[in-house]
Amino acid sequence: MTRRIVLVTGAPGAGKTTLALPLSAELRFPLLSKDHIKETLHDALDAPVDPASSRRLGAAAMRLIWALAARCPEAVLEANFLPRHPDTRPRLESLAATVVEVRCRCPPAEAARRYAERAPGAHAAHVVHELRSEALAQYDRPLDYGTVITVDTTLNRSLGPSAANTPGRVQRVGNGLDARHSSRWTGGMTTSQDALLPGTQRALLHRIAVAQSEGRAPSLVAAVVRGGQAVWHGARSSVDGHAPDENVQYRIGSITKTFTAVLVMRLRDEGVLDLSDPLDKHLPGTGVGEATIAELLAHTSGVAAESPGPWWERTPGSLRPELADVLGEQPLLHPAGRLHHYSNTGYTLLGALVEKLRGAPWEEVLHREILEPLGLHRTTPQPEAPYAGGWAVHPWADALLPEPIEDLGRMASAGQLWSTTGDLAKFAVFLARGDERVLGAESVREMRTPAAPAEAPDVVDGVTYGLGMQLHARGGHLLFGHSGSLPGFLANLTISLEDDVAAVVLANCTSGPSLGAVGDDLVRIVAEAEPRIPEPWRPLREVDPAVLELAGQWYWGTGAFGLRVTADGHISLGPLTGGGRGSRFRPNGDGTWTGLEDYYAGELLRPVRRPDGSLSHLDLGSFVFTRQPYDPEAPVPGGVDPQGWRGIK
């Protein structure tokens, strides 16, 4: 008898459980629900309420689902199955089952609104109370394993238990269980050259051709990502007929630092460390004093930029076998936290920290925690064929000199990796959206938040640094990512969240074209030629009179602000004229709201009512917002002159 499996897929908040319950009842298949198993484990184990525990229980629940499915002749599996997860296909293959996927289709913005709306009443096992639509967009496609039935779950926000008896809401799939697999996912990110208009493709090719020609690079390869997919790949080579494809490895230098930063953020999210911890708390005896982990991530620790002795990038790492050899006698050059001073030795320390706390070499931890989950199979510490050779180009002659390829040893976590445009395109999607298997969307967003002090002398022209990411503004858009270089190689990764476009550019020359400028231009070309189409505007599903009453104009002193109620269940407060601070706020379920951005991030907004129930004012972190400027009826700090407004006689 062939095993029969129904997968209920879709984003968190898309209505999977609401659909899976009546579907399993109608089919008379047992329901294996990740959330139900996770909550049961939490209660049975009296588990702590924290992100690390939630992550562990979620992973255990998924293992149980697969184990139970292997013992059931038929079952409905309901979970947040990520498309292109490298583990899903082997798991399904091992079941030797006929599979039907019932996909809950829901726009990411609506799913995010629902997720936040239900958060106040969520089980204690679920500690994440908000997911941005960008993070949910990664679920907005089927797994494409077997027959796919798509259900538009925006049609009814609450199907409820009676849905099993509602014709047309949930489609019976009994006949589909005997269908052949209509499509299979191959596991790789392929580049569809038809995803961009011909004119856009030609402009992209022209830009990299100019960069390779004028920069005199032996070869230059690039990829563009849009909407979470690689949509273009281009290459230029000095050898006719040998243009590298998206699987050829180049050395990526300091882009390695972003991988190391992700490993450190995972330790933070698991509660193993705090970013405010001094390094000495976890890795004593380094000589860096009270420099914190956050300061090391942001290059503000004051640690020396380079290792003493011979140029470390062109000499074997075996010359520096111990941390003390990398750091030298005086590793600390500046007071911690005062100055942005880019430091390769600082990221060497972070790699040593990862090794100490994980009890395994940095390379092993990297493979287990990032490369394998994200499917980055062509990203490796050592080159694996096919890979490009590194060259120096003579500054005054069109001549080449091969560069040595050295193992960086102890300094590997600062710049060792080799990768491809194909793998870095996937990594760009992760850095833009997050991935709960590696690092959630909120933690990834924290990494791209400026962390270097504004007065730092070498953070200029709109450039700054986050936690393992370089940030800069171009044309009013925030771009983030990282650059890299080692003898023989240049690399750049640029991402625009606003445009939902990313670019990867790699070259095999020590110096030459400015790949940062090329990456910026590739993003700009796509964003201008084929601008992102926004989600359709949709009104509120339901109007809460108490929330609607908050909408309109408010004053902080004499500053005019507007408050809007948005369809995602949030409110947005911002200045109407001149300067002023603004933010979106999420509901807390008790009539109060919590700020999500910038100055008001984490701050509480509380509507205050008079004894008769009418709305008096808003209290935002002790600031009083009133309906009229300096309203005498409101408790304005310092009071309002009883004679009121006046002119000059």
DSSP readout, 473-522?
EETTEEEEEEEEEETTEEEEEEEETTTTEEEEEEE-BSS-S-HHHHHHHH
**55-59, 69-73, 108-112, 139-143: range with lowest mean pLDDT:** 139-143
**Every domain of the chain and the residues it spans:** 3-178, 204-529, 545-625
Angle, in degrees to the nearest 10, between helices 421-433 and 255-269: 40
Give whichever of 86-100, 298-312, 370-384, 531-545 has the largest mean pLDDT.
Answer: 370-384
pTM of the predicted model over 0.85: no
φ, ψ of residue 473 to 5 degrees: the values are -105, 140
| Cα–chain center distance at 226 | 15
Which of these CATH numbers, 3.30.1130.10, 3.40.710.10, 3.40.50.150, 3.30.420.40, describes 204-529?
3.40.710.10
Q: How far apart are CA 636 and CA 634, in angstroms?
A: 6
Q: pLDDT band at residue 313, thresholds of 50, 70 and 90?
A: low
Angle, in degrees to the nearest 10, between helices 51-69 and 255-269: 90
The average pLDDT across 152-176 equals: 39
pLDDT attached to residue 180: 24
The average pLDDT across 627-646 equals: 89
The average pLDDT across 81-99 equals: 83
Looking up tokens 């699987």 gives 247
pLDDT attached to residue 428: 97
Task: Write out the H or E segment, with its range, that includes residue 254.
Answer: none
Mean pLDDT of the chain: 85
Does the bond joining 386 to the residue before it have cis omega, within 30 degrees of 0?
yes
What one-letter code names the amino acid at 483? S
The average pLDDT across 498-520 equals: 95
pLDDT above 90 for 194: no
pLDDT above 50 for 458: no
Compare 188 and 577 and report the one with higher pLDDT: 577
CA end-to-end distance (rounded Å), the chain = 97
pLDDT above 50 for 182: no
What one-letter code names the amino acid at 596? L
The average pLDDT across 200-207 equals: 96
pLDDT above 90 for 25: no
Residue 417's Cβ-side half-sphere holds a number of Cα atoms within 13 Å equal to: 30
Contact in structure between 112 and 90 (CB atoms under 8 Å): no
Strand partners, 503: 224, 494
pLDDT attached to residue 112: 87
What dihedral angle (degrees, nearest 10) is formed by the CA atoms of 161, 162, 163, 167? 170
The average pLDDT across 188-212 equals: 81
Beta strand residue intervals within 277-434, DSSP E:
391-393, 400-402, 418-419
The average pLDDT across 427-444 equals: 94
Q: How far is CA 581 from CA 332, 554, 587, 591, in A?
A: 37, 13, 19, 22
364-376: b or e for each residue (b if 16 or more CB lie within 10 Å)?
Answer: ebbbebbbebbbb
Output Rg (C-alpha) for the chain, integer angstroms: 27
Compare 50 and 393 and report the one with higher pLDDT: 393
Q: Which residue, among 125, 53, 65, has the nearest Cα to 94 in the 3D structure?
A: 65
Q: pLDDT band at residue 459, thresholds of 50, 70 and 90?
A: very low
The tens digit of pLDDT for each residue in 348-377 reads 899 999 999 999 999 999 999 999 999 999
The tens digit of pLDDT for each residue in 577-604 reads 877 889 999 999 999 999 988 889 889 9
Looking up tokens 């509120």 gives 540
DSSP string over 428-454: HHHHHH-BTTTB-HHHHHHHTS--S-T
Q: pLDDT band at residue 233, thresholds of 50, 70 and 90?
A: very high
| Cα–chain center distance at 568 | 20
Q: How far apart are CA 589 and CA 551, in angstroms?
A: 18
pLDDT above 90 for 261: yes
Which CATH code is given to the segment(s) 545-625? 2.40.128
**103-117, 178-192, 233-247: range with lowest mean pLDDT:** 178-192
**DSSP 8-state assignment for residue 1:** -
φ, ψ of residue 591 to 5 degrees: the values are 90, -10
Task: Write out the H or E segment, with its range, that includes residue 282.
Answer: helix 279-282
pLDDT attached to residue 324: 65
Q: How far apart are CA 522 and CA 501, in angstroms?
A: 9
CATH architecture of 3-178: 3-Layer(aba) Sandwich (3.40)
Q: How far apart are CA 356 and CA 363, in angstroms?
A: 13
